Structure 1
């Protein structure tokens, strides 16, 4: 598989989970590598910076209560081992081998066979060869970072064990059908900063994926792409050229709880469009060209944060955010931003924000012509 320079490789073992499924170990002290909320690639400054990642899998109620411990690593199995094998220039500790920032052009040899985590980020590796990981029985390729390179296509034949792919800031113009085929474990893709247009997504490009997180920011999109995975919890399309949200654009994404559409050119959101997002908790529509508060916000019972600052909103109605009469809202707002809009905030009725936690959650003013 050919890849560009500057990619990171993380590995972690598998253990059988409930009902025979496979789940990732939390890797003792090394919980993960990068929070999914961060758009920029991880920049490691020290050996133990692996611990900065808080992007651990979400637990269900049973797991959170401690009732199911099948996914917890057996501490005996993590007994430190000290091997004399360590690639030249790398740092080896217990079962962790760190070979980042060395200018490597190939995967180093002499990696201890009991290695469970291998870091190769920020090198000049351009190709993964067939025998690079031969004999490393405990390795499990989890995250692949190939951002900030000059790739013109998504590398084919990606490992089926991938959980996270970061390929932003390249020169990719096309996402062909089948490029993600077989990636059943993938839950996060960051592919912003590429010159992708809506026509660059072939029908079926995301078939088979069960993503939780997808970011296609800083591209050349003029609308919400079609046929994205229905499993998405987070979709970030900020810094594009999207001009409108039509009724069918969000039809597939009923599981979204965070939608990022800031820094676009949105003038119109068709009535009823937001009704397809019953679990939405956070909506970013800042830095667009909206002239009014989008219809349908009062019906989103779980919505807590709405960013509407830096638009062209001139009026805020008393029922724009909260349900009327005896309407039920399961979660009150804890953040509504309306600053930098030409709305006379002194004319807004106090009852407009009757379903907001407190007055500090509302941001007004600071409008300049």
Structure 2
């Protein structure tokens, strides 16, 4: 007879799934994005661990009677969301793998809040009121891979994050500064989501990302006026949409040669210096929607294989269109005969559209 899982067990996982492009994503969808073949915990950490969502079938049932009052506990999942909690509850089983504390009123993480939880894999603290974290709060969490602490009141990145951490989501806080050394020792980290913080370019200290080998970084909805120049060279995805970036200059992307997805939509970009994109030989997807471009856009000598009908001229109520003098897609593997004429309806001079001369 098939095993029937209680619906509450899947609630934290089902709630973690928003997969619209260039939006703040849900919890587990990051590892399920088929456009991110490299973002696999096993590959990233080099450890023989679980990938993405914990395999509930592989977890051995716990016979511990420990379960915080009002919470739901099954197997190694402890769900204490939406309970109005003021602090991390006690009596959490030491073999807990996933602890869900989202949508509460927790204001502080104390030294012994997670004491004994050495098997914890994922910790969800989204949408609380956390403004203070003890420097040793995460010390017991030696196997923690996913920390979701978005939508809180943090003014700094928590110190002494577990070295096992693979994914950190800390967007929608009040962080203004990323100091050097805050990510020290995080050799397994491959994803950081820190959008929705009032970060300016001057808020990143030189060497802030030293030692990180990230695949994915999002600093959207911040206060950046230019592309940060000291991010990890290993990045495959960089999302800087909804900022105040005004231009892409020649050397802005020099160190990011491994990028294949770059999000720069909803900025104030007026100029892309000719040749600045030539440093991105593996670029497959570039988003420049809702900017103030009025000159020629040079996208030549990349690996663009498809051009959608609304890529250069987005539709929708209230969407501002950019009008171009010309677009160069020269030396890309895009089959020009498949591109619809309406794709370039926002180009003022149809003779200034360049294709062709691609050789494998």
With the shorter chain as reference, the TM-score category is: 0.5 to 0.7
CA deviations 1:51-85 (Å, max 9, x no partner) are 99999974799999999999999999633233322
3-state secondary structure, aligned to 1:29: helix
Inter-CA distance 320–329: structure 2 relative to 1 (3 Å threshold): same
Inter-CA distance 246–144: structure 2 relative to 1 (3 Å threshold): same
Report the Cα distance in structure 1 between the residues aligned to 2:209 and 2:45, rounded to whole angstroms: 34
Contact 1:173/1:197, CA 8 A, preserved across alignment: yes
CA deviations 1:204-233 (Å, max 9, x no partner) are 011111111111111111110111011111
Contact 1:163/1:187, CA 8 A, preserved across alignment: yes
Tell me, yes or no, if structure 1 residue 219 matches structure 2 residue 222. Answer: yes
Shift of residue 123 of structure 1? 2.2
Inter-CA distance 336–128: structure 2 relative to 1 (3 Å threshold): farther
The worse-fitting range, judged by mean Cα deviation, of 111-120 and 193-202 is 111-120
Contact 2:171/2:194, CA 8 A, preserved across alignment: yes
Query: TM-score with structure 2 length normalisation?
Result: 0.64
Report the Cα distance in structure 2 between the residues aligned to 1:111 and 1:325, rounded to whole angstroms: 48
Inter-CA distance 143–317: structure 2 relative to 1 (3 Å threshold): closer
Contact 1:245/1:268, CA 8 A, preserved across alignment: yes
The worse-fitting range, judged by mean Cα deviation, of 277-286 and 66-75 is 66-75
Contact 1:233/1:257, CA 8 A, preserved across alignment: yes
Report the Cα distance in structure 1 between the residues aligned to 2:234 and 2:5, rounded to whole angstroms: 23
Shift of residue 240 of structure 1? 1.2
Report the Cα distance in structure 1 between the residues aligned to 2:266 and 2:331, rounded to whole angstroms: 14
Shift of residue 162 of structure 1? 2.1
Shift of residue 91 of structure 1? 0.1
Inter-CA distance 253–51: structure 2 relative to 1 (3 Å threshold): closer
3-state secondary structure, aligned to 1:189: strand
Inter-CA distance 247–81: structure 2 relative to 1 (3 Å threshold): same
Report the Cα distance in structure 1 between the residues aligned to 2:258 and 2:103, rounded to whole angstroms: 35
**Number of the residue aligned with 1:325:** 316
Report the Cα distance in structure 2 between the residues aligned to 1:84 and 1:249, rounded to whole angstroms: 56
Shift of residue 251 of structure 1? 0.6
Contact 1:285/1:308, CA 8 A, preserved across alignment: no
Contact 2:300/2:328, CA 8 A, preserved across alignment: yes
Contact 1:188/1:213, CA 8 A, preserved across alignment: yes
3-state secondary structure, aligned to 2:73: strand
Q: How many residues align?
A: 334
Inter-CA distance 178–118: structure 2 relative to 1 (3 Å threshold): same
Query: TM-score with structure 1 length normalisation?
Result: 0.62
CA deviations 1:138-172 (Å, max 9, x no partner) are 22322222222332222222222222222222222
Inter-CA distance 62–340: structure 2 relative to 1 (3 Å threshold): closer
The worse-fitting range, judged by mean Cα deviation, of 180-189 and 204-213 is 180-189
Shift of residue 125 of structure 1? 2.7
Report the Cα distance in structure 1 between the residues aligned to 2:39 and 2:8, rounded to whole angstroms: 17
Report the Cα distance in structure 1 between the residues aligned to 2:162 and 2:217, rounded to whole angstroms: 19
3-state secondary structure, aligned to 1:76: helix
Shift of residue 88 of structure 1? 0.5
Shift of residue 367 of structure 1? 31
Contact 2:285/2:304, CA 8 A, preserved across alignment: no
Shift of residue 99 of structure 1? 1.1
